[in-house]
Amino acid sequence: MKEIENKQSNLRLDIFINRNYIELSRTKIQKLIVDGKILVDNLIVKPSYLLKGSEKIIIKDFILDVDNFKNIKKENLSLDVLYEDDSIIVVNKESGVVVHPGIGNVSGTLLNGLLYHFDNLSNMNSARPGIVHRLDKETSGLIIIAKDDFSHNKLSYQFSNREIKKVYRAIVWGSISKQGEIKGYLTRDHRNRTCFILNDSKGKYSYTKYNMILDYPPFSYVELYPLTGRTHQIRAHLKSIGHPILFDKDYGGGQNRSKSYDSKYYTKINNTMKLMSRFALHAYKITIKHPKTNNQMEFKAPIPEDIIKVLDFIDETK
């Protein structure tokens, strides 16, 4: 996401974006504004909105309008490749790495590194070759990359038909129940259009099951099984049951959450908050059918050091 402090006045929003981001067509810009992917002071406005010179313009992450993957810069970035064959690549993505280029992130992404290290990637979408699915920037863990269009199609079919099994690990606020399920419809939060909220009828259906691994008051370590794959699903689901992910400020898991707990936990909470700089969510395991052999394959990404550090500390101080 890119934030712009606008200083220009008497200029249409779509023209302003067009002048500053020449890789986007005017038609593309207008659609992005209508779809709520370009906001003014966190609100959806019309493409013809006349800027006053004092607004904050938010441009959400979306794919650059490129004609060919050759327009994406190849960069010699370090990749943690867990598995590779002629059809797929399995990468353990570090937290802080964006999956593919977008406005405000034209370099340093996972895709920039993939294009440097691998000669063959699928080209189903020329703006993001090989990319079958995504993780949030701060989420660490497993990403499956397709090397050819056949494999990309097969994997996409498995994702859309919910045949791929995913397992996440997270540290959450509070003592969560030993097991449970969260389901409902996800729609954008009208108070913060970059986030989603759960409701009973409006939006896209979503479903997550979970098991509590360990209880470390005032936190819990939990394993999650998303049966659907909606944007921010796990983050929004955990917030909806009062157990947001630790450090997830957008979904109520930041430092202010400590005010909800007994003062006896304040020292522990304050010290815990110094141990990480991103929300504590990790894509831990994924099970697929190989796109060509049809054999079932399971991959695991080790729990990263920052999450282990927090777990060790809250265990020692429980």
Distant-in-sequence contacts of 155-159, Cβ < 8 A, 24+ apart: 155/88, 155/288, 155/291, 156/124, 156/132, 158/288, 158/289, 159/132, 159/133, 159/229
Spell out the domain ranges in the chain: 2-59, 69-161, 167-282+310-316
Which pTM value belongs to this model?
0.80
pLDDT of the residue at 10: 85
User: Mean per-residue pLDDT for 202-210?
Assistant: 95
pLDDT of the residue at 25: 67
| 65-122 pLDDT per residue, tens | 444 455 788 999 999 999 999 999 999 999 999 998 876 677 899 999 999 999 999 9
- Read off the DSSP letter of residue 256: G
Burial class (CB in 10 A: 0-12, 13-18, 19+), 231: middle
The candidate with the shortest Cα–Cα distance to 121, out of 62, 72, 61, 63, is 72
- Region of 15 (left: φ > 0; alpha: ψ -120 to 50; beta: rest) is alpha
Q: Enumerate the active-site residues.
A: 136
CA distance 145 to 48: 39
- 67: tokens are 């004609």
Distant-in-sequence contacts of 1-5, Cβ < 8 A, 24+ apart: 1/58, 1/59, 1/60, 1/61, 1/104, 1/194, 2/58, 2/59, 2/103, 2/104, 3/56, 3/57, 3/58, 3/59, 4/56, 4/57, 4/58, 4/59, 5/56
Let me know the angle formed at the C-alpha of 314 by 310 and 318, rounded to the nearest 5 degrees.
175
- The average confidence (pLDDT) of the chain is 90
* Percent of the chain residues topping a pLDDT of 90: 66
User: Mean per-residue pLDDT for 46-68?
Assistant: 74
CA distance 130 to 318: 44
pLDDT of the residue at 65: 45
- 218: tokens are 């005032």
User: Mean per-residue pLDDT for 6-24?
Assistant: 76
Give whole-number Cα distances, 144 to 48, 130, 237, 239, in Å. Answer: 40, 9, 24, 27
| 265-310 pLDDT per residue, tens | 999 999 999 999 999 999 999 999 999 999 999 999 999 999 999 9
The yes-or-no answer to whether 2-59 and 69-161 have a common fold is no
The candidate with the shortest Cα–Cα distance to 134, out of 227, 57, 229, is 229
Q: pLDDT band at 62, cuts 50/70/90? A: low
CA distance 246 to 164: 27
More confident of the two residues 32 and 218: 218
User: Mean per-residue pLDDT for 119-132?
Assistant: 84
CATH of 167-282+310-316, one of 3.40.640.10, 1.10.275.10, 2.30.300.10, 3.30.2350.10: 3.30.2350.10
CB 4 within 8 A of CB 57: yes
Record: fold of 69-161: Pseudouridine synthase (3.30.2350)
The candidate with the shortest Cα–Cα distance to 36, out of 192, 164, 154, is 192
Record: fold of 2-59: 3.10.290
pLDDT of the residue at 192: 83
**298 has which bridge partners?**
287
pLDDT of the residue at 64: 46
pLDDT exceeds cutoff 70 at 63: no
Q: Which of 178-187, 241-250, 254-263 has the lowest mean pLDDT?
A: 254-263
User: Mean per-residue pLDDT for 230-241?
Assistant: 96
pLDDT of the residue at 177: 97
How many Cα atoms are found within 13 Å in the side-chain-facing hemisphere of 262?
6
